[in-house]
Structure 1
Amino acid sequence: MDDLDRRIVGALLANPRATNAQISDAVFTSEATASRRVSRLIAEGAVRVIGVLDGEATARSRSLFVRLRCRPGDGNRSAQRLAAWPECGSVKLVTGSVDCVAEINYTSNDHLLAITLEQLPSLDGVLAVWSNQVVRRFATPHSWLPELLSEEIAAQLRSQRFDPWRDPLPGDLVRLDALDERIADALAGDGRLGWQQLADRCDASPVTVRRRAEAMFGSGALRMRAVVDPESVGLPVNAFISLSVNPTQLGRAGEMLAEHPSTLMISATTGDRNLCGEVALSSDAALYEFISSAIGGLPGLQHADVAVALRSVKRAGLLRDLAVKKPGAAVRLRG
């Protein structure tokens, strides 16, 4: 990506459904150029814009972080098999005390029981499993915005959103009907569909689908997200952090990390670690600074484990088909 591409990606991260006119104003280019660049970036797979039904707001699912230790030589195979699970949203091969980390969605306690006590231990090559249930989200990928734009421009783009980008979400649980489901499914495939396009796919009028979509946006039931590989915007060092913090300081520590521009997500969890998340940085030096300052300066910190990602097998529900990658070849995405 060149500098203009990166600024356009920054605009899409700030407001995934920003119009081409809004993007052109934010990145100081013509609307025609912004439209052409956005189309190319999406067509090339450099960025995806998707709608996501929030499991918490709709009471459909909850999240679980898992860390796996595998037999030598089996880590990649175990990660690929885990990534094939439909309830698995992301999987990474990492360095450190574990070999693989993943985020899994579960729908009930019985589902969670099956995942943790049966399915994960039965994965070929897995020697040990640690699981951490998410109990409060401080930041999710919906709010991730690396320093690609000025704070003023980023704030302006965010103010134009209909959906909440901060966590926790406001309001009560939301119930959806069949039309809501069709709208959400269409936006999950292409989050930048216009109202007429969306209406055609959902067999309803543009006025109706817009009203329904904006109602879901406002409640937090449907949230928009631009999915970008951090490496493509100059952040090649991706790491999973799992921390132990004094419970009396847990909220403050989570809020501090949520405000850091390197944080993709951070949540309070149950289990052996009570604060888990993901960060993306520009270099090992930046990671050292993050560990020593951002993590080291957290109130109540008792233990910190940082596992650097070696390979992202799945991100935002999309498998990265790395098995066919040859030296010098581009990574092919398949969904």
Structure 2
Amino acid sequence: MSHVRHSSLSCAMRRLRPGGMRPPRGPAILPPVEWDRRQARVDCKKHAEMNAQLNARQQIMDDLDRRIVGALLASPRASNAQISEVVFTSEATVSRRVARLIAQGTVRVIGVLDGEATRRTRSLFVRLRCRPGAAHRSAERLAAWPECGSVKLLTGSVECVAEINYTSNEHLLAITLEQLPALDGVLAVWSNQVIRRFATPHSWLPALLPDELVEQLRAQRLDPWHDPLPDRPATTDALDERIAAALAQDGRLGWQRLAELCDASPVTVRRHAESLMLSGALRMRTVVEPERIGLPVSAFVSLNVNPTQLGRAGELIAEHPSVLMISATTGDRNLCGEVALESDAALYAFISDTIGGLPGLQHADVAVALQSVKRAGRIVAAAAPAT
């Protein structure tokens, strides 16, 4: 009996070893070393896939990507050849990278009919104090409004800020006295009408390229990337409207493709588009979330400045490369805008040195942006609380 038991045990052991008599029924049993190798390959593959997905979501940029974005910010319709000259790489490389950045949604280049230059719309900032736990929902609903250009969630005394375009005093009345107070979760509303723009997103230029290369690109730009507004309202015709609508979807369309979309000849389309740009009616803009180019700390600043010093203060702060936009406003704050910086230390320096050094400064409120929900008319993030 003992011999039989020993033989049975030996056969069982041989079946468990690789190369044994016959495989056991059911799933294959691998030796520990071989199992570890196979599992390691599976883990590596999963890790690589997770990294690829994370990088795609974060759209991580290298130094060349950032320099290309800097060139697009300086001149949104610059050709790939013009960009290659200032980022010191081949035109083919620039072409591939620009196409990738746009396809990923990291960068958008758009043409915007300037509502103030055409006297069609005006704008205001609204700041909302929300019921605890309701800010995300309020921001989402506000972002769905077609007249709302941007929405951000903030820290501080208010939880949400938005820029809204309005067409008339009646429209403004409806927005401020009816629509905003009716938003679920909103406890209080402050509105500040824009009356003078010192810096706009069309002119934003973080320090991604040397100044001389920026000037080289901007010298080729037709649209006024800075204010003041034209003396007379810029006018448009039906073809102008079609051109603007097409460029609002893709601001880097070539003349031939733009002509096809607008049902006109390339020469005619180019003449109209360049005339629109020169008049200030059409402004080109490169849209990118600041964190994508290494500026993860964004904030909304709302200041009170002595009215006699307001113009000088606006001009001074607009010169800082961290300022995306800054405007003189009515209401409880008379200088409002957005900034983006590389760190909390940089924000501290901006507050203490740049804001603190403004002439006539009476009060400063700086609210750090937690999330950009909508930018340049497009929703960029779902305003849902982290779980």
Q: Give the shorter-chain TM-score range.
A: over 0.9
The C-alpha deviation readout for 1:94-140, integer Å capped at 9, x for no partner, is 00110000000000000000000000000000000000000000000
The TM-score, its normalising length taken from structure 1, stands at 0.96
Moved over 6 A (4+): 324-327
Q: CA deviation at 1:171?
A: 3.7
Which residue among 128, 136, 146 is the counterpart of 2:188? 128
Which residue among 99, 123, 142 is the counterpart of 2:202? 142
The C-alpha deviation readout for 1:231-290, integer Å capped at 9, x for no partner, is 000000000000000000000000001100000000000000000000000000000000
Which residue among 282, 287, 294 is the counterpart of 2:354? 294
Q: CA deviation at 1:170?
A: 3.2
Q: Which amino acid aligns with 2:348?
A: Y
Query: Does residue 244 of structure 2 align to residue 184 of structure 1?
Result: yes
Q: CA deviation at 1:202?
A: 0.2
Residue 278 of structure 1 aligns to a residue in which SS? strand
- Preserved CA contact (<8 Å) 1:171 1:219: no
1:32 aligned residue? 92
1:83 aligned residue? 143
Which residue among 169, 182, 192 is the counterpart of 1:109? 169
Cα separation, 2, equivalents of 1:288 and 1:142: 26
1:194 aligned residue? 254
Query: Does residue 309 of structure 2 align to residue 249 of structure 1?
Result: yes
Query: Does residue 337 of structure 2 align to residue 277 of structure 1?
Result: yes
Which residue among 210, 217, 222 is the counterpart of 2:270? 210
- Preserved CA contact (<8 Å) 1:93 1:99: yes
Cα separation, 2, equivalents of 1:94 and 1:326: 15
- Preserved CA contact (<8 Å) 1:14 1:154: yes
Cα separation, 1, equivalents of 2:157 and 2:257: 48
- Preserved CA contact (<8 Å) 2:203 2:225: yes
Query: Does residue 198 of structure 2 align to residue 162 of structure 1?
Result: no
How many aligned residue pairs are there? 327
The TM-score, its normalising length taken from structure 2, stands at 0.83
Cα separation, 2, equivalents of 1:169 and 1:215: 15
Q: CA deviation at 1:174?
A: 1.2
Change (3 A) 1:123 1:323: closer
Question: Relative to total residues, which structure has the larger strand share, 1 or 2?
Answer: 1
Q: Which amino acid aligns with 1:98?
A: V
Q: CA deviation at 1:325?
A: 9.6
Q: CA deviation at 1:320?
A: 2.0
The C-alpha deviation readout for 1:303-328, integer Å capped at 9, x for no partner, is 0000100011101111024358989x
The C-alpha deviation readout for 1:33-78, integer Å capped at 9, x for no partner, is 1111111111111100000000111011000000000000000000
Greater relative contact order (Cα 8 A, min sep 6): structure 1 or 2? 1
Which residue among 98, 109, 125 is the counterpart of 2:158? 98
Q: Please list every run of 5 or more consecutive structure 1 residues that lacks an aligned counterpart in the other structure.
A: 328-335
